């Protein structure tokens, strides 16, 4: 599978500032990506629910969150998404350099199962 990550948190937003978020998302679909990855503006910051909705309205491929998805916002964001890429929020103390924390993973997955039920 090929995923298109656009409007990335460390990207050159000035270069694409003349194009809407929706237009950029459509470009990813036009380029034949199997899915789109949306991120927040910096590491650990999720995209807004409004931006997620805007993208879902214009594309017909899965939308995954690539930054900022957490236990705290899963109730709000998961129903609007098709998947998530997890990183620091599942690590010991929420720090990217630390190992995965099995207790955080269990707690998180218990919540996800409840949301999806």
The pLDDT tens digits of the residues spanning 25-45 come to 898 898 899 999 998 877 778
Q: How confident is the model at residue 19 (pLDDT cuts 50, 70, 90)?
A: confident
> What is d(CA 19, CA 61) in angstroms, rounded to the nearest whole number?
20
> What is d(CA 36, CA 106) in angstroms, rounded to the nearest whole number?
27
Backbone angles phi, psi at 47, to 5 degrees: -70, 160
pTM: 0.82
The pLDDT tens digits of the residues spanning 47-95 come to 899 999 999 999 999 999 988 899 999 999 999 999 998 888 899 998 8
Q: Answer yes or no: CATH 3.20.20.70 is held by domain 3-116.
A: yes
- Please tell me whether residue 38 adopts helix, strand or coil conformation: strand
């Amino acid at each position: 599978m090929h995923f298109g990550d656009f409007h990335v948190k460390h990207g050159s937003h000035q270069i694409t500032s003349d194009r809407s978020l929706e237009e950029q998302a459509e470009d990813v679909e036009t380029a034949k990506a199997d899915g789109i990855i949306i991120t927040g503006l910096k590491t650990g910051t999720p995209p807004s629910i409004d931006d997620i909705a805007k993208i879902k309205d214009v594309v017909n491929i899965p939308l995954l969150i690539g930054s900022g998805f957490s236990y705290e916002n899963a109730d709000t964001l998961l129903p609007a998404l098709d998947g998530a890429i997890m990183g620091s929020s599942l690590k010991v103390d929420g720090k990217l350099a630390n190992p995965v924390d099995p207790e955080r993973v269990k707690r998180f997955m218990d919540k996800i199962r409840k949301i999806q039920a």
